[in-house]
Amino acid sequence: MHLLLSLRESPLDVRILWSSVFLRMASFGLTNQVLTLYLKSLEVSETNIGLFMTLTLIGDTLISYTLTWYADTIGRRTVMVLGTVMMCISGWIFSISSNYIILLLAAIIGVISPSGDETGPFKSVEEASIAHLTPHNHRPEVFAFHGLFATAGAALGSFVCGITVDYFHLQREWPLQSCYRLIFVMYSAIAFTKCILMLFLSPKCEVGYVDLETTTSSLLDTSDIHEEEDYGSIGNNKTLKSNPSITDIDNKSSSLSPTTRYYLPRLLIVFMLDSLGYGFMPSAWVVYYFKLAFAMSATGLGTLFFFTNAIDSISSLPSAYFAKTLGPVKSIIFTQAPSALFFILIAFTGNHIMASTLLILYCATSTMDVVPRQVLLTSIMPQEELTKVMGIVNIGKTFARCIGPVFTGKLASHEHLNIGFIINGGCVLAADLILGINFLSMDSDILAKTTTNILPEI
């Protein structure tokens, strides 16, 4: 019932951001299926493919750092429009160029995702905007829908990619390389559509617009922990005022509050260790592994990853329930640990049906930690620092993810790609252990903020 209320009462800006993440992840789903295979068709070695992914992630980290740190000064809407323009240009370059260096620069500037997951500044800015527009008691549901639309987009992109490549290659007899180039043309077209959509965001997304009646604050500010929050007031009864000035934001941009300085390093250790493991076996390498180990067709791969991403999207919804009943920290641990074990087991199976089943089980549980993570971050950190905090966290995760692909390329060149599954799962389990030791006690305080005492009638 609360999920339906959050969906129905969500303001227009939140719905636009949901559409944005759907389109973006659809484009990542497209390119993720062909990136490794496209580079291989250009006679790039597996070692250099791994290096390509690592350098791309490093470049994305630097760009994300700049754009997210100053997003509130530049303007969140401006940053998102600029990012989509860069995506559009990058897709066009990939469709016409075969030069390794040029493609690398295009991947960095245009946010071509080696992992099929979020890269670039979009995720940080979007999540900060959603948190800004949403009261505490509706954040789990709103973030759950955000995750649902993201993974649904990735699922659709994967499926469309597989069908498109096989159709033009088998039916129209196009060379595979030309089929892969067409996918990047589609990536560019989606980015253009997303750019148009971003122009319709209102000034309410900016940090300069503050809800005077139901402002959100740090978890340590207990004055509003038991305050009633009604989503129905969003966009209807809110009194908004402009933030003082860009100069005031600039004055705060170089420092973080004591609350943030205390919690952020501890969270970064957990999130970066998790991402370190993920970097050893990102989605593009999983696609490559299934292609080589089980000789799956493009349609077969697209269908498999359509189902895994579809299951991902469905699992985003119960994750909101877990976050509001168990607490975000317990939810992260109880969902991530099984997913890590499923992923490790893929390395030990030689049957494509069993491997596909384990991958589906992994995806059914891995995404359930996304909403609890968002709730944990947005509940602990001060509202006015969310954009920077989200940016730092996502940059840290991307930087940690940079390390793995170059080693995975070496493993692939020596026919030991399956070891990447083991490293990935091991790092996730270690991260869960550290998270439980440091943050498990905070669940009760966060639950007090995210629990609705009286639900509005539907």
Give the CA-trace dihedral at 10, 11, 14, 15, to 10 degrees: 80
* Three-class secondary structure of residue 449 per DSSP: helix
What would the DSSP string read from start to end of 241-255?
EE-S-HHHHHHHTT-
The domains located in the chain, with CATH, are 2-221+238-450 (1.20.1250.20)
CB neighbour list of residue 266: distance below 8 Å, 6 or more residues apart: 438, 439
Q: Write the CA distances from 47 to 52, 54, 179, 306, integer angstroms.
A: 9, 11, 24, 28
pLDDT given for residue 103 in this prediction: 94
pLDDT given for residue 68 in this prediction: 73
pLDDT given for residue 215 in this prediction: 39
pLDDT given for residue 117 in this prediction: 62
Burial class of residue 167 in the structure, from the number of CB atoms within 10 Å of its CB (0-12 exposed, 13-18 middle, 19+ buried)? middle
Q: Is the pTM value of this prediction over 0.75?
A: no
CA–CA separation, 321 and 314 (whole Å) = 13
Angle among Cα 438, 135, 383 to the nearest 5 degrees reads 60
pLDDT given for residue 427 in this prediction: 95
Q: Report the candidate in 213, 216, 219, 148 with the shortest Cα–Cα distance to residue 3.
A: 148
- Backbone phi and psi for residue 243, each to the nearest 5 degrees, phi listed first: -65, 150
CA–CA separation, 93 and 110 (whole Å) = 9
CA–CA separation, 116 and 428 (whole Å) = 19
Tallying the residues shown for the chain, one arrives at 458
Q: CB of 247 within 8 A of CB of 279?
A: no
In which element (H, E) is residue 57 found?
helix 46-69
Residue 72 falls in which region: left (phi positive, over 0), alpha (psi -120 to 50) or beta = alpha
The residues with which 241 forms a beta bridge, in sequence order, are 210
Q: CB of 133 within 8 A of CB of 6?
A: no
Q: Report the candidate in 204, 201, 200 with the shortest Cα–Cα distance to residue 238.
A: 204
pLDDT given for residue 233 in this prediction: 40
CA–CA separation, 270 and 380 (whole Å) = 15
Radius of gyration over every alpha carbon of the chain, rounded to an integer in angstroms: 21
CA–CA separation, 284 and 155 (whole Å) = 14
CA–CA separation, 95 and 100 (whole Å) = 13
CA–CA separation, 170 and 167 (whole Å) = 5
Number of CB atoms found within 10 A of residue 221's CB: 13
The residues with which 209 forms a beta bridge, in sequence order, are 242
Angle among Cα 370, 375, 379 to the nearest 5 degrees reads 155
pLDDT given for residue 455 in this prediction: 37
The residues with which 240 forms a beta bridge, in sequence order, are 211
Residue that the structure tokens 């096989």 belong to: 166
**pLDDT truncated to tens, each residue of the chain (458 aa)?**
466 666 777 889 999 999 999 999 899 889 988 998 999 999 999 999 999 988 888 887 777 777 777 777 888 888 889 889 988 999 999 999 999 999 999 988 877 776 656 666 677 788 878 887 888 777 778 887 888 888 888 889 989 999 999 999 999 999 999 999 999 999 999 999 999 999 999 888 887 665 544 433 333 343 333 333 444 443 343 433 434 444 444 444 457 788 888 888 989 999 999 989 988 988 888 989 998 899 888 888 888 988 887 887 777 677 777 888 888 899 899 888 999 999 999 999 988 899 999 999 998 888 788 778 888 887 888 877 877 787 788 778 878 888 888 898 889 888 899 999 999 999 999 999 999 998 888 888 888 765 544 333 33
Alpha helix segments (H runs only) across 199-230: none
Show the 3-state SS of 70-96.
CHHHHCHHHHHHHHHHHHHHHHHHHHH
